[in-house]
Amino acid sequence: MSIPEKIRQCHPALTALRRDIHAHPELAFEEHRTADLVARRLEALGVEVHRGLGGTGVVGVLKAGRSLRAIGLRADMDALPIQERNDFAHVSLHAGCMHACGHDGHTTMLLGAAEVLAAHPDFDGTAYFIFQPAEEGEGGADAMVDDGLFDRFPMASIFGMHNWPGLPTGHFAVHDGPVMASADRFDIEICGQGAHGAMPHLGTDSIIAGAALVQALQTVVSRTLDPLDSAVVSVTQFHAGEAYNVIPDRAKLCGTVRAFSAAVQDRIEATISRIGGGVAASHGVSVEVDYRRGYPPTINTADEAAFCAAVAGSLPGASVLTDLPPSMGAEDFAFYLRHKPGCYVWIGNGPGEGGCTLHNPHYDFNDAIIPFGVAYWVELVRRLLPKT
């Protein structure tokens, strides 16, 4: 039996598994049912299982041959705090929680690859199947690293994959270099002097200062960065006041910063603080900026990117794009790439119309792409850990 045939035979069962995970979503660091399901299936395949990394993470270890070479394959397991608006049979059973980013599909495809490779261990070395918690903003990758992932499971490189709505089924996108941006956050507290709304001259208006600051922040990218450096500074919250006739003494701005390099992050952070000080001086208020680094940019290493493009291009019916622009979205796979070379690819999820876009209440993972994802993982292991 060929491996592609084995994948085709597994497809119906994997589809049922994916839909079961979709119906039972769990938020960051709460993936207890999902982690147990993953662990039990790996154990049933004869794969060595380690639980509890980074909280609820699971690592499966599959060895074949005698080589000391090893690689890591990662899938994320957590869902999002979104109320699902679909009406199919596998809709979320948990109010206010759904798999709106396809982590149910990622987990399923990696389990499918473990099943195929356990049945056909046509490689020489060790494959680590990494099922990670808390990708959605909580840094589960960093938690697994801190919990000794690379010490306990020494691997030469690590690989990830994410579905991508709008990219046709059967297509892969592979980036040499940046693929996802960093994700920093800022909170800016503005403190003035409150006054009656009918007597503004008796106070110092925090709202006016806040509005000026919002406008000024629009120049961070357009006037302080090299035009060839991509970045985003977005103010996403403005909180001030509770009454119609009171000018509040305080206002708060919150937002996000995206970039593809630490140097650009440094420049933006310094510029926001400088602008805050200028607005404070010109409006007679105090401004306090709290800038926090979040996910670093996800930067694929060149050799691994080229290898992954070759693997994806070898799959029957698959096509590879290497010229798509990177995304300003963020991904905590970046934490792994701070320690190991590797590559994070996009797998086409088909058309994104009709709500089938990421983080949308009408999203659903496309089960038709499961065989492509499984085949990619299997072929990656076979080529990176070839029999000699």
Catalytic annotation, residues: 78, 135
Do 160 and 103 meet the contact criterion of CB atoms below 8 Å apart? no
Chain center to CA of 1 = 36
Residue 318 DSSP symbol:
-
Measured distance CA(353)–CA(165) in Å, rounded: 9
Do 24 and 34 meet the contact criterion of CB atoms below 8 Å apart? yes
Do 132 and 144 meet the contact criterion of CB atoms below 8 Å apart? yes
Residue 27 DSSP symbol:
-
Do 297 and 261 meet the contact criterion of CB atoms below 8 Å apart? yes
Place of tokens 């006041």: 241
Measured distance CA(142)–CA(290) in Å, rounded: 22
Ordered DSSP codes for 120-187: S--SSEEEEEEEE---SSS-HHHHHHHTTHHHHS--SEEEEEEEETTSPTTEEE--SSEEEE-EEEEE
Chain center to CA of 226 = 27
Residue 325 DSSP symbol:
P
Contacts 24+ apart (CB under 8 A), 86-90: 86/361, 86/362, 86/364, 88/364, 89/19, 90/19, 90/20, 90/22, 90/23
